[in-house]
Amino acid sequence: MESSETIRLWAKTPVKVIDIRHFSLKPGEQLQAYNLPTSAFLFINHGEARLKLDGMEATQAHFQVAHGGKNVCLNIWCLDHPVDYYLILYKPVYDRSGPSMCSQVDRLLPYAHPYVFQARYPIFLTSLLEQMHQLWTTGEELDKLQVTGLFYQFVHEQFRQLQIAGDEIAEPDLATQIAQYIRKHYRQTISMETMANLFHYSTHYLSRVFKRKFGCSPIEYVLQTRINRAKSLLTESDTPIREVAEGVGYTDMYYFNRLFKKLVGETPAQFKMHSIALKGSIRTNFMPESFIAPRSVIRHTDNNENHYHEEAWRVNEMNVRFKPSFAVTLLFSLSLLLAACGGGNENVQSSEMREYTDGLGRQVKIPVQPSKAVVLSYGGYLLPLGLKPVGVNEETLDQYPDKMADVESIGKGTGNLEAISALQPDLIILPDYYKSDIFDAYSKIAPTIAVPWGGDPDVVNTLRTMGDIMNRKQEAEAWITKFEEKLQRLRDKIDIKIEPGTTAISFIIYNGEVLLGGEGGTLGKLIYQDFGFQMPAQFKQFADGGTALSMEELVNKPADYFFTQMTDEEMKAMTELFKEPLYQSIPAIKNNRVINVSRDKWNYGPYLVDEGVDILIEEVTKLLK
């Protein structure tokens, strides 16, 4: 993109400063493989360092200015003298009522473009950065308003010096140029022949050069880029899944679902439901102005401007700002120091360990007999084992106000590192759908393992896994035996006559989309095996965990019965929605064949699943008799 066009877009598109950080490195220290959480400027104030940004490298990084977009990889190696540098994180503000998603993405390309150059007049940039950092750290809103003005001055000054630098801008190598081309054009059809013509090399040579640096072929990189972008959109925006698919270059929804599951391990609908759970609370938009009207453009999460922290670094009750890596290192070091000095002997854990292969296939050494486990999402699974976790996330505590009254909260969503560290756990257990950086951060505190989610929640298999982890297999099997005996008694009692071929689907309505459940999991087995409903033929290809339907497809009478998994608050909104004449034409709604059991009953452990089964049996029996 031409510099004049870039500057014009900067002038027209507002941006928001997210954070301003000031760091120093000692000789021999390094910042390695840091993926920028959002668009950023970096300025090395003084010292000697080697800087590498997205394939571009500066060996003498004194007074270097660098810019990169979200997920661009940054490396800094401190050489013979200490290095002092500033990092400004910012994001462009999306215009939700403006152009289409594709044109919006095009407008935002300048904020993702990486470049590195050496400032000719560093004193001007240093002066602005020092003022910005000082005002930012005071925490006053009026000061932060002034920071925004200084930020635009900084952007103007660096553009002025970038123009002066001219031909001295570091040029990326061929492999990096290919990667940049793919990241810019991933929504379009990209072939090796197209890139060969563009870069004037043979397809074989391009593939060899690219694979040497990135470890995969250019076409594999295209797929990874598209799917990674889709994951970001599913996590950070309310964009419907069908529009996400089109936005990353796929018009065939079935192919997108199949490819996404192959690369991610679950369907887009499953992945989206996980992202909903990780946000800690769900605000379901049941009644858009019109489900036929165009959707809003892609946007970042509204309720947390520092959304890239994923809520992993804060608790609602704590209004503090801190650096997670430093906090973890400090608290972890203090705990080791206390143990070495003999302090806190009552908390000394058994040193007996064993190898465990977790849900991500990783070999992790865990205690043979864990006694202080922090558990995210699956904390309820310890109760039938005769155990309690030492800490769980707030959402789990909300489900067990009595049984977990003495269990510590680690915060909402993915929890808070400081809160977890303070509990001195000997094991941390998470579902396997969390991001790798969460596992990396928690692993610095205690052995951290992933439990397979496997599509729809399956209480039996999950409890067996937890029993193995906690060395309570016998207790797990005892509860499973009682549960299966209960199911068999219910099967024997059930006197429900369903006409052959009667169809049913289970789903959640979220932001104007219908997220389908599959045939597996506890609920799916009850619907399709025990009750004898059939999944509609058109959805059989998604029987392992679902896809997303538009509201239009719901109106097209997809099944005879609806099994919904809405919370009480969401159920009220859905009931109001279904009163509209348009939805009253659907047989399942018109004939009152909608059965709801909140997903909280299926997602938070065996005791709640047990309650969910009772509610489901009661509702089905009442409806069908």
The residues near 333 (Cβ < 8 Å, ≥ 6 apart) are none
User: How many CA atoms, within 13 angstroms, populate the side-chain half-sphere of residue 2?
Assistant: 3
User: How many CA atoms, within 13 angstroms, populate the side-chain half-sphere of residue 490?
Assistant: 19
pLDDT in tens, 385-420: 999 999 999 989 999 999 999 999 998 888 888 889
Question: For 474-484, what is the mean pLDDT?
Answer: 94
Give the pLDDT score at 391. 95
Task: Quote the Cα angle for 369-401-304, to 5°.
Answer: 95
User: How many CA atoms, within 13 angstroms, populate the side-chain half-sphere of residue 263?
Assistant: 19
Within the chain, all domains assigned CATH 3.40.50.1980 are found at: 353-475, 494-624
Within the chain, all domains assigned CATH 1.10.10.60 are found at: 203-277
What is the rounded distance in angstroms from the CA atom of residue 274 to the CA atom of residue 268? 10
* Number of other residues whose CB lies within 10 A of the CB of residue 411: 23
Give the pLDDT score at 476. 95
Q: Is 0.85 surpassed by the pTM of this model?
A: no
User: 360 near 432, Cβ under 8 Å?
Assistant: yes
Which of 196-205, 263-272, 422-431 tops mean pLDDT? 422-431
CB burial of residue 109 (10 Å; 0-12, 13-18, 19+): middle
- Structure tokens of 109? 């390309």
How far is Cα of residue 212 from the mean position of the Cα atoms in its chain?
29
User: 555 near 588, Cβ under 8 Å?
Assistant: no
- CATH homologous superfamily, domain 353-475: Nitrogenase molybdenum iron protein domain (3.40.50.1980)
What is the rounded distance in angstroms from the CA atom of residue 36 to the CA atom of residue 405? 39
Residue 349 has pLDDT above 50, yes or no: no
Band (pLDDT 50/70/90 cuts) for residue 154 is very high
Question: For 33-47, what is the mean pLDDT?
Answer: 87
Give the pLDDT score at 304. 37
Give the pLDDT score at 622. 81
pLDDT in tens, 95-141: 655 555 444 455 556 677 788 888 887 878 888 998 899 899 877 78
Strand order in the sheet with 15-25: 15-25, 83-92, 39-46, 64-68, 115-118
Give the pLDDT score at 17. 93
Query: What CATH number is given for 203-277 in this structure?
Result: 1.10.10.60
pLDDT in tens, 174-232: 888 888 888 888 888 888 988 888 888 888 888 888 888 888 899 999 998 999 888 88
Task: Quote the Cα angle for 440-444-447, to 5°.
Answer: 85
Q: Is 528 strand, coil or helix?
A: helix
Give the pLDDT score at 323. 40
Question: For 548-575, what is the mean pLDDT?
Answer: 83
User: 546 near 267, Cβ under 8 Å?
Assistant: yes
Q: Tell me the torsion sign for CA atoms 60, 61, 67, 72.
A: positive
What is the rounded distance in angstroms from the CA atom of residue 550 to the CA atom of residue 541? 17
Question: For 290-296, what is the mean pLDDT?
Answer: 32
Give the pLDDT score at 312. 30
Nearest to 598 by CA among 562, 569, 559: 569
> How does DSSP assign 276-290, residue by residue?
HHHTSS-------S-
Strand (E) or helix (H) holding 516: strand 513-516
Residue 525 has pLDDT above 60, yes or no: yes
Q: So what CATH class is 3-94+109-171? A: mainly beta
Residue 481 has pLDDT above 90, yes or no: yes
Q: Residue for token digits 């979220």?
A: 510
pLDDT in tens, 364-377: 999 999 999 999 98
Least confident of 352-361, 543-552, 584-593: 543-552
User: 534 near 560, Cβ under 8 Å?
Assistant: no
The mean pLDDT of the chain is 79
The residues near 472 (Cβ < 8 Å, ≥ 6 apart) are 385, 386, 387, 466
Q: Is 142 strand, coil or helix?
A: helix
- Structure tokens of 100? 């289409």
Within the chain, all domains assigned CATH 2.60.120.280 are found at: 3-94+109-171
What is the rounded distance in angstroms from the CA atom of residue 160 to the CA atom of residue 570? 53
- Structure tokens of 347? 């908390």
> What residues form DSSP beta bridges with 77?
30, 50
Nearest to 162 by CA among 208, 200, 193, 118: 118
Q: Which CATH number fits domain 494-624: 3.40.50.2300, 3.40.50.300, 3.40.50.1980, 3.40.30.10?
A: 3.40.50.1980
Band (pLDDT 50/70/90 cuts) for residue 363 is very high
What is the rounded distance in angstroms from the CA atom of residue 458 to the CA atom of residue 67? 46
Q: Residue for token digits 């870039």?
A: 6
User: 119 near 163, Cβ under 8 Å?
Assistant: no
- Which amino acid is located at 279 in the chain? K
Give the pLDDT score at 286. 42
Q: Give the chain's radius of gyration (CA, Å).
A: 27
Strand (E) or helix (H) holding 555: helix 551-555
Give the pLDDT score at 366. 95
What pairing do the DSSP bridges indicate for beta strands 83-92 and 15-25? antiparallel
Residue 315 has pLDDT above 80, yes or no: no
More confident: 519 or 454: 519
User: 75 near 34, Cβ under 8 Å?
Assistant: yes
User: How many CA atoms, within 13 angstroms, populate the side-chain half-sphere of residue 607?
Assistant: 15
User: 387 near 472, Cβ under 8 Å?
Assistant: yes
Query: What DSSP designation does 457 have?
Result: -
- Structure tokens of 210? 């690219």
